[in-house]
């Protein structure tokens, strides 16, 4: 199944989500990762959440509500969002599960590569961002997203 994804757009507040359709679908949240300056420096997005919703507009606007698991991250980081309308519940569930499985496999692979390159002391110091940095390294050698994403 090929999905018709929206473009990535910045999540700065719930007002930025006014044009998101009130339809069922799948969404992906990502944080912009800026690598150190240099000749090979580039901006990348690290996907940290993939989920499905009966109403994209309602679920996405709740991300900014007080008490939301993602409110602090969306407010304090440069986060981006994209979505695809998928009206069939079975297709929506299958696509979300496939993308979540893909995301988890990429994080596991990235963590293994990163742990081989870094001494243990550094890993402990950088624990909050290890997965994000490792994903960037893996993405440089593997396709960024499965077909249609």
Sheet holding 79-85, edge to edge: 9-10, 79-85, 25-34, 43-53
How many independent structural domains does the chain possess? 1
SS (H, E, C) 19-58: CCCCCCEEEEEEEEEECCCCCCCCEEEEEEEEEEECCHHH
Residue 22, in any domain of the structure: yes
The pLDDT tens digits for 62-79 are 888 888 887 788 878 888
Choose between 12 and 128: higher pLDDT. Answer: 12
State which residues form the domain around 132.
Answer: 9-139
User: 148 pLDDT exceeds 50?
Assistant: yes
Claim: this prediction has a pTM higher than 0.75: no
Residue 119, in any domain of the structure: yes
Residue 96, in any domain of the structure: yes
Residue 128, in any domain of the structure: yes
Residue 107, in any domain of the structure: yes
CATH number at residue 22: 3.40.1440.10
- Confidence tier at 109 by pLDDT (50, 70, 90): low
- In 3D space, the residue among 64, 61, 70, 2 whose CA is nearest the CA of residue 30 turns out to be 70
Residue 1, in any domain of the structure: no
Give the integer Cα–Cα distance in Å for 5 and 25.
Answer: 10
Residue 145, in any domain of the structure: no
Residue 111, in any domain of the structure: yes
Q: What angle do CA 47, 7, 64 make, to 5 degrees?
A: 60
């Amino acid at each position: 199944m090929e999905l018709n994804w929206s473009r990535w757009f910045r999540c700065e507040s719930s007002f930025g989500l006014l044009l998101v359709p009130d339809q069922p679908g799948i969404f992906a949240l990502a944080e912009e990762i800026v690598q150190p300056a240099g000749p090979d420096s580039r901006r990348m997005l690290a996907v940290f959440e993939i989920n499905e919703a009966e109403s994209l507009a309602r679920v996405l606007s709740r991300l900014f509500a007080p008490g939301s698991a993602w409110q602090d991250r969306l407010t304090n980081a440069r986060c981006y969002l994209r979505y695809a309308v998928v009206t069939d519940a079975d297709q929506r569930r299958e696509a979300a599960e496939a993308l979540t499985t893909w995301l988890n496999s990429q994080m596991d692979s990235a963590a293994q590569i990163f742990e081989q390159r870094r001494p243990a002391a550094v890993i402990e110091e950088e624990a909050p961002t290890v997965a994000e940095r490792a994903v960037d390294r893996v993405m440089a050698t593997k396709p960024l997203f499965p077909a249609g994403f």
